[in-house]
């Protein structure tokens, strides 16, 4: 059975609108296996989309409960998840859109966009290097540590520390930047630079430039709470963190993002979304790279982010498919790009074969020590790939 519509936020300026179709049965079994048999998380939603006869065909599956509390509600296709680092592709696409509008350029030095860091090692680093994890920065620092003693760090102090966190091995750069190291610090800085250039809070910029145009059901906690008073009752819980008051729900899991942007969004984390919203982003990526979404981003504009780069699989806003052991499994091909989120979320887009897979879980609930997601991800994407192949073949 196919039903049209479902739980979408509504059509954006560049959304697929009535050409989307939904099948609501096969992937339910996959979601149940991930939640009940593999114990990947208490809450699991999976989605697959494939281009067939000039439209996107989508299937959804959901299983589990919003938390380990037996009294909590069941997971559905409308459940919100903390997307964690799936925020990064949205941040990078917002930068590309602002570049198109002439608000900034991807080669603008960080110090030009953020005057506070002009005296740091990263002052001359181009925005694009930050987006591509090639700014020579350390991966992570506890920028939230003042909160552990009940104090607040200064905005300028946090920016200076992040921009000064040059790795000791980052001594020489090429035209492509320094040796790549995945860095949340780089994205926190990039997000703030984008917000300053646009003259708005980052969550407002991401919504205006990317999410609203695509009709994607994604936003910061404060945006979604403002749109729906019942938001918190429909969010999958994340980690139990005693110093933050217990189980986190409707607040960002990432400590640096929580410290920096509260209920807003940082460049590296802070967005919440449902399965429809993340699929909409994935479909837009594929459509744009096939030249079908030029009003949003042309193929060339998105390729500037998604193109392969030297020394690894990291691109600007995306990751590529690793040669061995990819979390996207074996059925998503070498043209696949996407991203993972620490909370248990992921998006993979096989550009050449025009298929998108999304796995949303709360694998950090009640503790981040649960690593069953490592096995669950390739298993899930292989099944999504099988579904896409069957549908394309008419079976």
Q: Does one domain contain both 43 and 95?
A: no
pLDDT in the model for residue 152: 79
Asked whether 9 and 216 are in contact (CB, 8 A), the reply is yes
pLDDT in the model for residue 246: 96
Q: Does one domain contain both 157 and 306?
A: no
Q: Does one domain contain both 63 and 127?
A: no
From CA 346, how far away is CA 359, in angstroms rounded?
Answer: 5
pLDDT in the model for residue 3: 27
Task: Give me the residue label for tokens 């910029």.
Answer: 205
Of 152, 168, 200, the residue that ends a domain is: 200
From CA 55, how far away is CA 70, in angstroms rounded?
Answer: 40
Of 200, 234, 251, the residue that ends a domain is: 200
Q: Does one domain contain both 267 and 348?
A: yes
| Residues in the chain, total | 395
pLDDT in the model for residue 13: 77
Structural domain for 141, as ranges = 90-200
Q: Does one domain contain both 279 and 379?
A: yes
Please say whether the dihedral angle defined by the alpha carbons of residues 165, 170, 171 and 173, taken in this order, is positive or negative: negative
49 backbone dihedrals φ, ψ, rounded to 5°: -135, 145
From CA 18, how far away is CA 8, in angstroms rounded?
Answer: 11
Q: Does one domain contain both 258 and 215?
A: yes
Q: How many domains does the chain have?
A: 2
Neighbouring residues of 370: CB distance < 8 A, sequence distance ≥ 6:
39, 40, 41, 363, 364
Q: Does one domain contain both 196 and 333?
A: no
**Domain with 82 in it: what CATH number?**
3.40.710.10
pTM given for the model: 0.94
Q: Does one domain contain both 231 and 216?
A: yes
Q: Does one domain contain both 139 and 101?
A: yes
Q: Does one domain contain both 224 and 368?
A: yes
Q: Does one domain contain both 59 and 191?
A: no
Q: Does one domain contain both 71 and 100?
A: no
pLDDT in the model for residue 395: 57
Of 169, 200, 231, the residue that ends a domain is: 200
Query: How does pLDDT run along the chain (395 residues), one tens digit per residue?
Result: 222 233 334 468 776 543 444 444 689 999 999 999 999 999 999 999 999 988 999 999 999 999 999 889 999 999 999 999 999 999 999 999 999 999 999 999 999 999 999 999 999 999 999 999 999 999 999 999 999 888 778 999 999 999 999 999 999 999 999 999 999 999 999 999 999 999 999 999 999 999 999 999 999 999 999 999 889 999 999 999 999 999 999 999 999 999 999 999 999 999 999 999 999 999 999 999 999 999 999 999 999 999 999 999 999 999 999 989 999 999 999 999 999 999 999 999 999 999 999 999 999 999 999 999 999 999 999 999 999 998 877 65
């Amino acid at each position: 059975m196919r039903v049209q519509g479902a739980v979408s936020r509504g059509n954006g300026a560049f959304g697929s609108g009535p050409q989307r179709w939904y099948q609501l049965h096969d992937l339910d079994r996959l979601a149940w296996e991930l939640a009940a048999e593999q114990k990947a998380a208490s809450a699991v939603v999976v989605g697959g989309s494939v281009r067939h006869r000039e439209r996107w065909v989508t299937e959804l599956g959901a299983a589990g409960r919003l938390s380990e509390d037996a009294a909590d509600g069941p997971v559905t296709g409308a459940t919100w998840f903390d997307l964690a680092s799936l925020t990064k592709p949205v941040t990078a696409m917002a930068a590309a859109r602002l570049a198109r509008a002439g608000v900034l350029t991807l080669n603008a030095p960080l110090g030009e966009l953020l005057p506070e860091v002009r005296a740091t090692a990263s002052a001359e680093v181009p925005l694009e290097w930050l987006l591509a994890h090639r700014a020579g920065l350390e991966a992570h620092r506890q920028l939230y540590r003042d909160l552990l003693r009940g104090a607040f760090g200064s905005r300028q102090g946090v920016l200076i520390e992040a921009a000064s966190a040059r790795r000791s091995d980052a001594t020489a750069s090429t035209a492509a930047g320094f040796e790549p190291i995945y860095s949340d610090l780089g994205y926190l800085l990039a997000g703030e630079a984008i917000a300053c250039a646009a003259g708005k809070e980052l969550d407002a910029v991401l919504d205006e430039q990317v999410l609203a145009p695509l009709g994607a059901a994604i936003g910061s906690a404060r945006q979604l709470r403002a749109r729906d008073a019942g938001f918190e009752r429909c969010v999958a819980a994340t980690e139990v963190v005693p110093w933050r008051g217990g189980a986190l729900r409707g607040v960002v899991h990432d400590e640096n993002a929580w410290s920096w942007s509260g209920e807003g969004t940082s460049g590296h984390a802070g967005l919440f979304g449902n399965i429809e919203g993340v699929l909409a982003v994935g479909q837009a990526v594929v459509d744009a790279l096939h030249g079908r979404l030029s009003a949003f981003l042309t193929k060339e504009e998105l390729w500037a982010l998604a193109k392969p780069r030297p020394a690894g699989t990291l691109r600007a806003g995306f990751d590529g498919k690793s040669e061995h052991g990819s979390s996207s499994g074996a059925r998503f091909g070498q043209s696949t790009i996407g991203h993972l989120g620490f909370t248990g979320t992921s998006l993979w887009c096989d550009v050449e074969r025009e298929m998108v897979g999304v796995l949303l879980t709360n694998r950090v609930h009640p503790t981040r020590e649960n690593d069953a997601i490592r096995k669950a991800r390739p298993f899930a994407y292989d099944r999504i790939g099988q579904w896409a192949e069957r549908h394309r073949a008419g079976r």
